[in-house]
Amino acid sequence: MRPQSTYRGRFAPSPSGYLHFGSLITALASFLDAKKNNGTWLVRLEDIDPPREKKGASAHILKTLAAFGLHWDENILYQSKQTDYYQHIIEQLFKEQYCYYCQCTRAQIKAIGGIYQGHCRHLNLDKNHSAIRVINQIQIDQYSDLIQGKIQCDKALAREDFIIRRKDGLFAYQLAVVADDIYQNISHVIRGCDLLEPTTRQLSFYQLLSDKAFRHVLWSAQDESHVSKHLQAPVFGHIPLAITEQGYKLSKQNKAPAIDIQKPQPALFAALQFLGQQPPIDLKHLNVDEIIQWAIAHWQLESVPKKQEIQLT
Instruction: State the burial class of residue 176 (Cβ atoms within 10 Å of its Cβ: 0-12, 13-18, 19+).
Output: buried
Find which of ligand GLU, Zn ion, none residue 13 binds, CB within 5 to 8 Å per kind. ligand GLU
Residues facing residue 163 across a β-bridge: 133
> Which residues are within 8 A (CB) of 175 and not within 5 positions of it... i.e. 6 or more apart?
86, 89, 90, 164, 165, 205
Our finding on whether 119 is near Zn ion (CB under 5 A) is yes
Q: Which is nearer to Zn ion, 68 or 116 (CB)?
A: 116
Which of 305, 308, 21, 272 has its CA nearest to residue 193?
A: 308
79, 46 in Cβ contact below 8 A? yes
138, 207 in Cβ contact below 8 A? yes
Our finding on whether 14 is near ligand GLU (CB under 6 A) is yes
Our finding on whether 242 is near Zn ion (CB under 5 A) is no
Least CB distance to ligand GLU at residue 32 (A): 16
Radius of gyration of the chain (CA): 20
Pick the piece of the chain touching ligand GLU (CB under 6 A) from 6-14, 56-64, 137-145, 227-235: 6-14
229, 293 in Cβ contact below 8 A? no
Least CB distance to ligand GLU at residue 11 (A): 7
Our finding on whether 79 is near ligand GLU (CB under 6 A) is no
Residues 188-217 that bind ligand GLU (CB under 6 A): 191, 195
Our finding on whether 15 is near ligand GLU (CB under 6 A) is no
Half-sphere exposure of 272 (CA within 13 A, CB side): 25
Find which of ligand GLU, Zn ion, none residue 33 binds, CB within 5 to 8 Å per kind. none
Q: Which of 32, 34, 39, 46 binds ligand GLU (CB under 6 A)?
A: 46
Q: Which of 9, 12, 39, 136 binds ligand GLU (CB under 6 A)?
A: 12
Binding site for ligand GLU (CB under 6 A): 12-14, 46, 177, 191, 195
Residues that bind Zn ion (CB under 5 A): 102, 104, 119-120
